[in-house]
Amino acid sequence: RYVMHNSLTWSEELGRYLFVWITFVGLPVALKAGAHVAIDLLLKKTKGRFHIAILTINAVATAILGIVIFYSGIRLVLLGVGQISSAMQLPMQYVYTIIPVSGLLLLFFTVTVYLEERAKALQGDK
């Protein structure tokens, strides 16, 4: 900016879009890694059917969130068709595409993590 006496008009927009993408990619990745903030005191104190019931309720709630993110993301992508970003002239549906992808990944990782945790809980009962 100071060397060429001209600032990059697209850099702020690119930073904003990358921040959105990183946030939506981080949601399912953090779930898979077990890095989400959680209150697991109840899970540590329970065993058996009650433990599995809590795991199931958590998985169902998270799966519903994944479905809502996917559905809302599809609607947003369709809304972005024909819109162009102001500085980069990028079609907005490309920016919004990460939202339904994130919802699907969240749903997939929710199922896999639930099945893994359920299997561990069932083995612990034996």
| 33-77 tens-digit pLDDT | 988 777 677 888 888 899 999 999 999 999 999 999 999 999 999
Residue 65 tokens, joined: 């969130």
Domain ranges of the chain: 11-125
| 85-115 tens-digit pLDDT | 998 999 999 999 999 999 999 999 999 999 9
Instruction: Provide the phi-psi class of 46: left if phi over 0, else alpha when psi is between -120 and 50, else beta.
Output: beta
Q: pLDDT-derived band of residue 4, with 50, 70 and 90 as boundaries?
A: low
pLDDT of res. 34: 86
